[in-house]
Protein backbone atom coordinates (compact mmCIF):
# COMPACT_ATOMS: atom_id res chain seq x y z
CA UNK A 1 0.00 0.00 0.00
CA UNK A 2 1.05 3.56 -0.54
CA UNK A 3 1.61 5.73 2.50
CA UNK A 4 -1.49 7.87 1.98
CA UNK A 5 -3.57 4.71 1.71
CA UNK A 6 -2.30 3.65 5.13
CA UNK A 7 -3.29 7.03 6.53
CA UNK A 8 -6.73 6.82 4.97
CA UNK A 9 -7.33 3.32 6.29
CA UNK A 10 -6.22 4.32 9.80
CA UNK A 11 -8.28 7.49 9.63
CA UNK A 12 -11.38 5.47 8.74
CA UNK A 13 -10.83 3.06 11.60
CA UNK A 14 -10.00 5.66 14.23
CA UNK A 15 -12.92 7.88 13.29
CA UNK A 16 -15.16 4.90 13.90
CA UNK A 17 -13.54 4.61 17.34
CA UNK A 18 -13.47 8.31 18.19
CA UNK A 19 -14.23 8.00 21.86
CA UNK A 20 -11.71 5.28 22.51
CA UNK A 21 -9.06 7.11 20.54
CA UNK A 22 -9.64 10.31 22.48
CA UNK A 23 -9.67 8.55 25.84
CA UNK A 24 -6.47 6.74 24.93
CA UNK A 25 -4.69 9.88 23.86
CA UNK A 26 -5.91 12.02 26.76
CA UNK A 27 -2.88 11.11 28.86
CA UNK A 28 -0.63 12.30 26.06
CA UNK A 29 -2.72 15.46 25.77
CA UNK A 30 -2.26 16.23 29.47
CA UNK A 31 1.45 15.47 29.37
CA UNK A 32 2.08 17.55 26.28
CA UNK A 33 -0.07 20.42 27.54
CA UNK A 34 1.90 20.44 30.80
CA UNK A 35 5.20 20.49 28.97
CA UNK A 36 3.88 23.16 26.65
CA UNK A 37 2.79 25.47 29.47
CA UNK A 38 5.90 25.05 31.61
CA UNK A 39 8.37 25.28 28.77
CA UNK A 40 6.69 28.21 27.04
CA UNK A 41 6.51 30.16 30.30
CA UNK A 42 10.09 29.49 31.31
CA UNK A 43 11.32 30.28 27.81
CA UNK A 44 9.28 33.48 27.95
CA UNK A 45 10.84 34.33 31.30
CA UNK A 46 14.29 33.58 29.97
CA UNK A 47 13.76 35.80 26.95
CA UNK A 48 12.39 38.59 29.08
CA UNK A 49 15.32 38.49 31.45
CA UNK A 50 17.88 38.33 28.64
CA UNK A 51 16.22 41.36 27.08
CA UNK A 52 16.38 43.23 30.34
CA UNK A 53 19.97 42.25 30.92
CA UNK A 54 20.98 43.24 27.45
CA UNK A 55 20.18 46.83 28.41
CA UNK A 56 23.10 46.52 30.83
CA UNK A 57 25.16 45.47 27.91
CA UNK A 58 28.90 45.50 28.18
CA UNK A 59 29.03 48.84 29.93
CA UNK A 60 28.69 47.98 33.62
CA UNK A 61 30.37 45.70 36.14
CA UNK A 62 29.29 45.51 39.77
CA UNK A 63 31.39 44.49 42.73
CA UNK A 64 30.41 43.95 46.30
CA UNK A 65 32.17 42.40 49.28
CA UNK A 66 30.90 38.97 50.12
CA UNK A 67 30.93 35.39 49.01
CA UNK A 68 28.92 34.16 46.06
CA UNK A 69 26.87 31.08 46.91
CA UNK A 70 25.07 30.44 43.66
CA UNK A 71 22.16 32.78 43.41
CA UNK A 72 21.87 33.61 47.09
CA UNK A 73 24.97 35.65 47.66
CA UNK A 74 24.69 38.54 50.08
CA UNK A 75 26.72 41.61 50.88
CA UNK A 76 29.15 41.13 53.72
CA UNK A 77 31.73 43.80 54.36
CA UNK A 78 32.62 47.26 53.10
CA UNK A 79 34.49 48.92 50.31
CA UNK A 80 37.56 50.80 51.45
CA UNK A 81 38.93 53.96 49.89
CA UNK A 82 42.06 52.14 48.80
CA UNK A 83 40.01 49.49 47.08
CA UNK A 84 37.95 52.14 45.33
CA UNK A 85 41.03 54.03 44.17
CA UNK A 86 42.75 50.86 42.97
CA UNK A 87 39.74 49.80 40.96
CA UNK A 88 39.47 53.28 39.50
CA UNK A 89 43.04 53.00 38.23
CA UNK A 90 42.58 49.65 36.45
CA UNK A 91 42.76 49.57 32.64
CA UNK A 92 39.43 49.72 30.82
CA UNK A 93 37.68 51.35 33.77
CA UNK A 94 36.00 54.68 33.10
CA UNK A 95 34.64 55.39 36.54
CA UNK A 96 33.97 53.47 39.75
CA UNK A 97 30.93 54.75 41.61
CA UNK A 98 30.62 53.80 45.28
CA UNK A 99 27.17 53.15 46.67
CA UNK A 100 25.69 52.05 49.94
CA UNK A 101 23.10 49.40 49.60
CA UNK A 102 20.66 48.62 52.39
CA UNK A 103 17.29 47.07 52.87
CA UNK A 104 15.07 49.24 55.01
CA UNK A 105 11.49 49.94 55.94
CA UNK A 106 9.60 52.78 54.37
CA UNK A 107 6.33 54.36 55.50
CA UNK A 108 3.78 56.17 53.39
CA UNK A 109 0.07 56.93 53.67
CA UNK A 110 -0.20 54.86 56.89
CA UNK A 111 1.34 51.97 54.98
CA UNK A 112 4.68 50.33 55.26
CA UNK A 113 6.94 48.23 53.08
CA UNK A 114 10.50 47.14 52.60
CA UNK A 115 12.69 48.68 49.92
CA UNK A 116 16.24 48.24 48.69
CA UNK A 117 17.88 51.62 49.07
CA UNK A 118 20.83 52.70 46.93
CA UNK A 119 22.56 55.63 48.53
CA UNK A 120 24.52 57.46 45.83
CA UNK A 121 26.10 60.85 45.31
CA UNK A 122 23.91 62.82 42.90
CA UNK A 123 26.95 63.84 40.89
CA UNK A 124 26.97 60.27 39.56
CA UNK A 125 23.23 60.17 39.01
CA UNK A 126 23.37 60.21 35.22
CA UNK A 127 25.37 56.97 35.18
CA UNK A 128 22.30 55.16 36.50
CA UNK A 129 21.05 54.79 32.96
CA UNK A 130 23.79 52.19 32.37
CA UNK A 131 22.14 50.11 35.07
CA UNK A 132 18.93 50.05 33.04
CA UNK A 133 17.14 52.74 35.05
CA UNK A 134 14.78 54.92 33.10
CA UNK A 135 12.54 57.61 34.47
CA UNK A 136 8.82 56.98 34.09
CA UNK A 137 7.56 60.12 35.82
CA UNK A 138 9.31 63.11 37.38
CA UNK A 139 13.09 63.30 37.30
CA UNK A 140 16.26 61.88 38.78
CA UNK A 141 17.29 63.27 42.16
CA UNK A 142 19.54 66.28 41.72
CA UNK A 143 20.29 67.80 45.11
CA UNK A 144 22.73 65.78 47.16
CA UNK A 145 21.81 67.48 50.42
CA UNK A 146 18.04 67.42 50.32
CA UNK A 147 15.73 64.65 51.42
CA UNK A 148 14.54 63.56 48.00
CA UNK A 149 14.19 60.12 46.41
CA UNK A 150 13.45 58.24 43.21
CA UNK A 151 11.32 55.17 43.68
CA UNK A 152 10.84 51.91 41.80
CA UNK A 153 7.66 51.02 39.95
CA UNK A 154 6.29 48.62 42.59
CA UNK A 155 6.66 51.19 45.33
CA UNK A 156 4.91 53.75 43.15
CA UNK A 157 2.08 51.25 42.60
CA UNK A 158 1.74 50.71 46.35
CA UNK A 159 1.58 46.96 45.85
CA UNK A 160 -1.23 47.34 43.33
CA UNK A 161 -3.61 49.03 45.71
CA UNK A 162 -4.80 52.23 43.97
CA UNK A 163 -5.30 53.96 47.35
CA UNK A 164 -1.67 53.38 48.25
CA UNK A 165 -0.20 54.76 45.02
CA UNK A 166 2.63 57.21 45.59
CA UNK A 167 2.91 60.03 43.10
CA UNK A 168 5.61 62.52 42.26
CA UNK A 169 5.48 65.25 44.92
CA UNK A 170 4.23 62.89 47.63
CA UNK A 171 6.30 62.25 50.73
CA UNK A 172 7.48 58.97 52.13
CA UNK A 173 9.11 58.26 55.44
CA UNK A 174 12.54 56.65 55.21
CA UNK A 175 15.38 56.52 57.79
CA UNK A 176 12.83 58.40 59.97
CA UNK A 177 12.93 61.33 57.55
CA UNK A 178 10.19 62.84 55.43
CA UNK A 179 11.48 62.73 51.87
CA UNK A 180 9.94 64.04 48.70
CA UNK A 181 9.41 61.66 45.79
CA UNK A 182 10.71 63.45 42.74
CA UNK A 183 10.93 60.58 40.26
CA UNK A 184 9.51 57.17 39.47
CA UNK A 185 11.40 54.52 37.50
CA UNK A 186 9.96 52.55 34.68
CA UNK A 187 9.03 48.99 35.40
CA UNK A 188 11.89 46.53 34.81
CA UNK A 189 12.17 42.77 34.80
CA UNK A 190 13.84 40.52 37.30
CA UNK A 191 12.57 42.13 40.53
CA UNK A 192 14.35 45.49 40.23
CA UNK A 193 11.18 47.41 41.02
CA UNK A 194 11.48 47.76 44.78
CA UNK A 195 14.33 50.22 44.77
CA UNK A 196 14.84 53.67 46.14
CA UNK A 197 17.63 56.01 45.13
CA UNK A 198 18.70 58.17 48.06
CA UNK A 199 21.16 61.12 48.05
CA UNK A 200 24.46 60.42 49.75
CA UNK A 201 24.86 63.94 51.19
CA UNK A 202 21.61 63.82 53.06
CA UNK A 203 22.41 60.30 54.30
CA UNK A 204 25.66 61.63 55.79
CA UNK A 205 23.69 64.44 57.45
CA UNK A 206 21.55 61.89 59.24
CA UNK A 207 24.14 59.26 60.12
CA UNK A 208 27.36 61.25 60.16
CA UNK A 209 29.28 59.00 57.80
CA UNK A 210 28.77 56.31 55.16
CA UNK A 211 30.28 52.88 54.60
CA UNK A 212 30.12 52.00 50.93
CA UNK A 213 29.38 48.38 50.20
CA UNK A 214 28.63 48.35 46.48
CA UNK A 215 30.57 49.45 43.47
CA UNK A 216 29.09 50.30 40.11
CA UNK A 217 31.88 50.38 37.57
CA UNK A 218 31.35 51.97 34.18
CA UNK A 219 33.85 50.55 31.69
CA UNK A 220 34.92 51.62 28.24
CA UNK A 221 36.56 48.32 27.43
CA UNK A 222 34.64 45.46 28.93
CA UNK A 223 37.11 42.62 28.37
CA UNK A 224 40.10 44.61 29.46
CA UNK A 225 38.35 45.88 32.57
CA UNK A 226 36.83 42.53 33.45
CA UNK A 227 40.18 40.72 33.34
CA UNK A 228 41.93 43.46 35.25
CA UNK A 229 39.24 43.60 37.95
CA UNK A 230 39.21 39.84 38.25
CA UNK A 231 42.99 39.68 38.56
CA UNK A 232 43.03 42.48 41.10
CA UNK A 233 40.35 40.89 43.26
CA UNK A 234 42.01 37.49 43.12
CA UNK A 235 45.26 39.06 44.27
CA UNK A 236 43.61 40.36 47.45
CA UNK A 237 43.85 38.46 50.71
CA UNK A 238 41.23 38.46 53.43
CA UNK A 239 38.08 40.14 52.16
CA UNK A 240 36.52 38.41 49.14
CA UNK A 241 34.38 40.13 46.53
CA UNK A 242 31.63 39.14 44.14
CA UNK A 243 31.73 40.42 40.57
CA UNK A 244 28.46 40.73 38.71
CA UNK A 245 28.16 41.37 35.00
CA UNK A 246 25.22 41.09 32.64
CA UNK A 247 26.84 37.99 31.22
CA UNK A 248 27.36 36.29 34.56
CA UNK A 249 23.79 37.13 35.61
CA UNK A 250 22.43 35.85 32.38
CA UNK A 251 24.20 32.52 32.56
CA UNK A 252 23.13 32.15 36.18
CA UNK A 253 19.50 32.88 35.35
CA UNK A 254 19.66 30.64 32.30
CA UNK A 255 20.90 27.77 34.39
CA UNK A 256 18.05 28.25 36.85
CA UNK A 257 15.44 28.47 34.11
CA UNK A 258 17.08 25.52 32.37
CA UNK A 259 16.83 23.57 35.61
CA UNK A 260 13.15 24.44 35.85
CA UNK A 261 12.60 23.31 32.28
CA UNK A 262 14.32 19.99 32.90
CA UNK A 263 12.32 19.52 36.08
CA UNK A 264 9.06 20.15 34.23
CA UNK A 265 10.13 17.79 31.46
CA UNK A 266 10.75 15.06 34.01
CA UNK A 267 7.31 15.53 35.54
CA UNK A 268 5.67 15.55 32.14
CA UNK A 269 7.65 12.50 31.05
CA UNK A 270 6.19 10.53 33.92
CA UNK A 271 2.70 11.40 32.76
CA UNK A 272 3.68 10.49 29.21
CA UNK A 273 5.01 7.15 30.41
CA UNK A 274 1.64 6.41 31.97
CA UNK A 275 -0.10 7.34 28.75
CA UNK A 276 2.31 5.12 26.83
CA UNK A 277 1.06 2.20 28.90
CA UNK A 278 -2.45 3.37 28.07
CA UNK A 279 -1.72 3.26 24.35
CA UNK A 280 -0.10 -0.15 24.69
CA UNK A 281 -3.25 -1.40 26.36
CA UNK A 282 -5.57 0.04 23.73
CA UNK A 283 -3.49 -1.27 20.85
CA UNK A 284 -3.38 -4.68 22.44
CA UNK A 285 -7.15 -4.73 22.81
CA UNK A 286 -7.50 -3.46 19.28
CA UNK A 287 -5.33 -6.25 17.87
CA UNK A 288 -7.31 -8.87 19.77
CA UNK A 289 -10.60 -7.40 18.59
CA UNK A 290 -9.44 -7.22 15.01
CA UNK A 291 -7.87 -10.65 14.91
CA UNK A 292 -10.02 -11.82 12.00
CA UNK A 293 -9.73 -8.50 10.27
CA UNK A 294 -5.95 -8.72 10.38
CA UNK A 295 -6.11 -12.29 9.12
CA UNK A 296 -8.27 -11.00 6.28
CA UNK A 297 -5.80 -8.23 5.44
CA UNK A 298 -3.11 -10.88 5.15
CA UNK A 299 -5.31 -13.24 3.16
CA UNK A 300 -5.95 -10.35 0.82
CA UNK A 301 -2.24 -9.96 0.26
CA UNK A 302 -0.70 -7.78 2.96
CA UNK A 303 2.61 -9.16 4.12
CA UNK A 304 3.93 -9.21 7.70
CA UNK A 305 5.91 -6.01 7.34
CA UNK A 306 2.96 -4.11 5.93
CA UNK A 307 0.73 -5.19 8.82
CA UNK A 308 3.50 -4.26 11.25
CA UNK A 309 3.81 -0.85 9.64
CA UNK A 310 0.05 -0.33 9.66
CA UNK A 311 -0.23 -0.90 13.39
CA UNK A 312 2.89 1.05 14.29
CA UNK A 313 1.54 3.95 12.30
CA UNK A 314 -1.85 3.65 13.91
CA UNK A 315 -0.46 3.83 17.44
CA UNK A 316 1.88 6.64 16.38
CA UNK A 317 -1.13 8.54 15.11
CA UNK A 318 -3.00 8.01 18.37
CA UNK A 319 0.00 9.60 20.10
CA UNK A 320 0.07 12.37 17.53
CA UNK A 321 -3.61 13.14 18.09
CA UNK A 322 -2.87 13.45 21.80
CA UNK A 323 0.01 15.75 20.91
CA UNK A 324 -2.15 17.99 18.72
CA UNK A 325 -4.77 18.39 21.44
CA UNK A 326 -1.95 18.90 23.93
CA UNK A 327 -0.63 21.78 21.84
CA UNK A 328 -4.09 23.32 21.58
CA UNK A 329 -4.77 23.05 25.31
CA UNK A 330 -1.21 24.02 26.17
CA UNK A 331 -1.48 27.09 23.95
CA UNK A 332 -4.74 28.17 25.55
CA UNK A 333 -3.56 27.49 29.10
CA UNK A 334 -0.19 29.18 28.70
CA UNK A 335 -1.93 32.27 27.38
CA UNK A 336 -4.42 32.23 30.23
CA UNK A 337 -1.53 31.83 32.67
CA UNK A 338 0.30 34.70 30.98
CA UNK A 339 -2.80 36.85 31.26
CA UNK A 340 -3.22 36.03 34.95
CA UNK A 341 0.46 36.70 35.68
CA UNK A 342 0.24 39.99 33.85
CA UNK A 343 -2.79 41.11 35.82
CA UNK A 344 -0.90 40.14 38.99
CA UNK A 345 1.99 42.32 37.93
CA UNK A 346 4.43 39.60 36.82
CA UNK A 347 5.01 40.93 33.36
CA UNK A 348 8.11 38.76 33.10
CA UNK A 349 6.03 35.57 33.05
CA UNK A 350 4.66 35.55 29.53
CA UNK A 351 4.60 32.42 27.36
CA UNK A 352 7.02 32.20 24.48
CA UNK A 353 6.08 29.49 22.00
CA UNK A 354 9.01 28.41 19.89
CA UNK A 355 8.79 26.36 16.74
CA UNK A 356 11.01 23.78 18.45
CA UNK A 357 8.44 23.41 21.22
CA UNK A 358 5.70 22.74 18.67
CA UNK A 359 7.78 20.25 16.72
CA UNK A 360 8.77 18.50 19.93
CA UNK A 361 5.12 18.38 21.03
CA UNK A 362 4.23 16.59 17.80
CA UNK A 363 7.20 14.28 17.32
CA UNK A 364 7.63 13.15 20.90
CA UNK A 365 4.05 11.81 21.32
CA UNK A 366 4.24 10.27 17.85
CA UNK A 367 7.31 8.28 18.86
CA UNK A 368 5.80 7.39 22.21
CA UNK A 369 2.81 6.05 20.29
CA UNK A 370 5.02 4.00 17.98
CA UNK A 371 7.07 2.71 20.89
CA UNK A 372 4.05 1.62 22.91
CA UNK A 373 2.46 0.09 19.84
CA UNK A 374 5.48 -2.03 18.99
CA UNK A 375 4.55 -5.18 20.87
CA UNK A 376 0.90 -5.20 19.72
CA UNK A 377 2.01 -4.46 16.15
CA UNK A 378 4.46 -7.37 16.16
CA UNK A 379 1.67 -9.56 17.47
CA UNK A 380 -0.61 -8.34 14.68
CA UNK A 381 2.01 -8.99 12.02
CA UNK A 382 2.30 -12.61 13.15
CA UNK A 383 -1.40 -13.39 12.89
CA UNK A 384 -2.03 -16.37 10.63
CA UNK A 385 -3.97 -15.46 7.47
CA UNK A 386 -5.80 -18.78 7.89
CA UNK A 387 -7.79 -17.03 10.61
CA UNK A 388 -9.73 -15.34 7.83
CA UNK A 389 -11.16 -18.63 6.62
CA UNK A 390 -12.19 -20.00 9.98
CA UNK A 391 -15.20 -18.83 11.84
CA UNK A 392 -15.99 -19.30 15.48
Partner 1 sequence: MIIKLENVTKIYKIGDSYIKALDNINLEVEEGELISIMGPSGSGKSTLLSIIGCLDKPTSGKINLFGFDILKLSDKELSKIRKNYIGFIFQQFYLFNYLNALENVELITKIANKKNNKAKELLEKVGLGNRLYNLPNQLSGGQQQRVVIARALANDPKLILADEPTGNLDEKSANDVIDILKKLNKEEGKTIAIVTHDPRIAEQTERIVVIRNGKILSDNTTVDEALELLK
Sole window of 30-38, 64-72, 244-252, 379-387 interacting with partner 1 (rule: CB under 8 A): 379-387
Check residue 147 for interaction with partner 1 (CB under 8 A). Answer: no
Q: Which 8-state DSSP code applies to residue 188? A: -
Contact criterion met (CB below 8 Å) for 182 and 150: yes
Residues contacting residue 227 through CB under 8 Å, at least 6 positions apart: none
157 in contact with partner 1 (CB under 8 A): no
CA distance 94 to 58: 13
Closest CA to 217 of 320, 327, 89, 369: 89
Q: What's the rounded Cα separation, in Å, for the pair 347 and 343?
A: 8
85 by Cβ neighbours in 10 Å (0-12 / 13-18 / 19+) ranks as: exposed
Answer for which of 84, 265, 296, 333 binds partner 1 (CB under 8 A) is 296
Q: Which is nearer to partner 1, 231 or 303 (CB)?
A: 303
**Residue 355 binds partner 1 (CB under 8 A):** no
Per-residue binding string, partner 1, 303-332, x by CB under 8 A, is: xxxx--------------------------
Q: Which region, judged by CB under 8 A, interacts with partner 1, from 11-19, 37-45, 256-264, 315-323?
A: 11-19
Among 283, 298, 337, 380, binds partner 1 (CB under 8 A): 298
Q: Which residues contact 65 (CB under 8 A, 6 or more apart)?
A: 75, 76, 77, 78, 79, 213, 239, 240, 241, 242
Least Å from the CB of residue 387 to partner 1: 9
Residues ≥6 apart with Cβ < 8 Å to 213: 64, 65, 75, 77, 78, 79, 99, 100, 101
User: Which residue stretch of 53-61, 209-217, 317-325, 380-388 sits at the interface with partner 1 (rule: CB under 8 A)?
Assistant: 380-388
- For residue 377, the minimal CB distance to partner 1 (Å) is 17
Q: What is the DSSP string of 306-320?
A: HHHHHHHHHHHHHHH
Piece in contact with partner 1 (CB under 8 A), picked from 83-91, 94-102, 368-376, 384-392: 384-392
x/- mask, partner 1, residues 12-51, rule CB under 8 A, reads: xx-xx-----------------------------------
389 in contact with partner 1 (CB under 8 A): yes
Binding mask 234-273 for partner 1 (x = CB under 8 A): ----------------------------------------
Burial letters 216-236, b for 16+ CB under 10 A, else e: bbbbeebeebbebbeebbeee
Work out whether the CA dihedral 219, 222, 223, 227 comes out positive or negative: positive
**Contact set with partner 1 (CB under 8 A):** 1-2, 5, 9, 12-13, 15-16, 292-293, 296-306, 384-386, 388-391
Amino acid sequence: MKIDDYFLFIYKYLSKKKLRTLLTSIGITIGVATIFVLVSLSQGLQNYISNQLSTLGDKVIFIYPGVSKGFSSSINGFISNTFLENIQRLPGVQIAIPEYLISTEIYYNNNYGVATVYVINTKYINYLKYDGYQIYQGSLINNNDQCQVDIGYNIYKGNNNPNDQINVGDYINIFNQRCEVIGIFQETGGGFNNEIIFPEGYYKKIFGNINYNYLMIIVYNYNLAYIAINDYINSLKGQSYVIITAKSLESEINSIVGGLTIFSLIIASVSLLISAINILNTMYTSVLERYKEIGLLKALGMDNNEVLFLFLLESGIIGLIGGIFGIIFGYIMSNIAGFIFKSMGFTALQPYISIQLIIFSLLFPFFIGILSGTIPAIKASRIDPMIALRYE
